[in-house]
Amino acid sequence: EEVVDAGVFGRDPGITSNVAEYVALEKALTAAVERFDPDHVHAIGDSELVIKQVKGEFDVNSGRLRPFHADVERLVDRMDASLQLQHVGREENEVAHGLCERAYEDYLYSDERETARETPMPVAAVGDGVYEVDGERVHTGGPAEPASCSCEDYTDHGAKCVHIHKAELLEAGTF
């Protein structure tokens, strides 16, 4: 049994927890199929609405959710694996909730991550998960702890900044 984790997070006013759940489900299913070519996939989510919509038990009434639902449906139709969907409440699974937040942040900030990759700036590891990036102090965080930065962009807006992306690239060994 292999586990693929995916999650979503966003601060955009148009982002809802259900949009995040759809994006996380699509990312997890894609990763599971590409990495493992499984016969069976068991996906667990904390949005009862999304799980029941994908299972066909609820209609998709929200225009905002329809394109995400359609993307997941197309992916499920192309899978050679059987799919089992299970709802587990957020309060029962904090790890899954944290992973959902992290995956959507990756999706939302992919352009900024490319900018971080291409922009030269001094980066130094200061401690475990702590970096000095172009004069700013960055904590890369973890599954239950969000990343943070001392820069104005982060402190004023809570937006994931180029400094955080640069530190995460260094930490991942892709910088």
Helices 48-55, 66-78: crossing angle, 10 deg rounding = 50
pTM of the predicted model, to two decimals? 0.53
Q: Tokens 């996380």 belong to which residue?
A: 24
Q: Does position 55 have pLDDT exceeding 90, yes or no?
A: yes
Phi-psi region of 41 (alpha: psi -120 to 50; beta: other; left: phi over 0): beta
**Quick one: what percent of the chain has pLDDT higher than 90?**
19
> Number of helices (H) and strands (E), helices first, in the chain?
7, 6
Task: Encode pLDDT of 134-168 as tens digits.
Answer: 888 998 876 667 788 888 877 776 667 888 878 88
pLDDT band, residue 54 (cuts 50/70/90): very high
Q: Does position 5 have pLDDT exceeding 60, yes or no?
A: no
Is beta strand 40-45 parallel, antiparallel or unpaired with respect to 82-87?
parallel
Distance CA 162, CA 134 (A): 10
Task: Encode pLDDT of 10-38 as tens digits.
Answer: 555 566 778 878 888 898 888 888 888 88
| Degrees, nearest 5: CA angle 108-35-46 | 50
pLDDT for 89 equals: 82
pLDDT for 58 equals: 96
pLDDT for 8 equals: 45
Give the CA-trace dihedral at 86, 91, 93, 95, to 10 degrees.
140
pLDDT for 153 equals: 75
Task: Encode pLDDT of 75-128 as tens digits.
Answer: 999 888 889 999 988 778 777 666 666 666 666 666 666 777 777 888 888 888
Q: Which residues pair with 142 in a beta bridge?
A: 145
